[in-house]
Amino acid sequence: MYQTTIQKAVELVGIGLHKGSPVRLKLEPLDSNSGIVFYRSDVGVAIPLIPSNVVDTKMATVIGKDGYVISTIEHLLSAVYAYGIDNLKVIVDADEVPVMDGSSASFCMLLDEACIKELDSPKKIMRITKEVIVQEGDKYVKLTPSPDLKYDFRIKFPHPAIQSQEYVLEFTKEGYKNEIARARTFGFLHEVQYLRSKGLALGGSLENAIVLDEKKVLNPEGLRFTDEFVRHKILDAIGDMSLIGMNFVGNYEAMAGSHDLNHKLTLELLKNTENFEVIELVGEKTAELEKAYA
């Protein structure tokens, strides 16, 4: 199994969640061993996708370099990771990735248009070899060794439309596209009003997020899944875990996980080489992964 990129450059324009302004996003192919590189075309700054470049995780995963940032990268990265893409240049002309409809479905369609191209270097994958956990109170995120890849996420909100939800994704690319990609981000009306008073979430609307008041979902079309909230949390987690720099094999488990906990988990994982091994996928070792990313 070999490293991949995309066959051709593709682009789209969408609204930025926080500034509310149009953002042009362009994806371009890169050679083997280049990794995922973000590029701010408006200021001429490249920001490689590595954990040390994460500068904020309060409301989204934000990377930065030399004082320049790119926000809300996790939905795009979730799709890129699900497609098994190893090398990619992500170009934006602003400080955030467009939010589109609040899910990763638009990015999946963009990658389908770009098509996947196999390169000439073996694909590298990380196998989790020891349990790694980050816990804060009753919230935690955890990685454990496993021969396959599974995301098990639980949430609990004191809201009648959410309450307790759990979803387990036994990962395959098609499973991701069918079960996870369309799940939208969500927020509460009082939070949106507060953020707007601070000049944030100016692009947020019922077109790109699930919005809840104290009792119900405000979107007239309702939910795409009865448990759309926890499915979106898995979508976020997949994007956040792409910061380790390659696809991995192991089980991810979370109780009330967040961008911040996911970032701390990647740092904890990479801190000790006894937690993982990096394998070049050749011969019979590739069977399960080829199935997952077919």
Residues with a catalytic annotation lie at: 259
Tell me the torsion sign for CA atoms 56, 57, 58, 60: positive
Q: Are 125 and 54 in contact (CB under 8 A)?
A: no
Identify the burial level of 139 via C-beta atoms within 10 angstroms of its C-beta, where 0-12 means exposed, 13-18 middle and 19 or more buried.
Answer: middle
Q: DSSP states of 108-165 as a string? A: HHHHHHH-EEEEEEE-EEEEE-S-EEEEETTEEEEEE--SSEEEEEEEEESSTTTEEE
CA 51/CA 60 separation, integer angstroms: 14
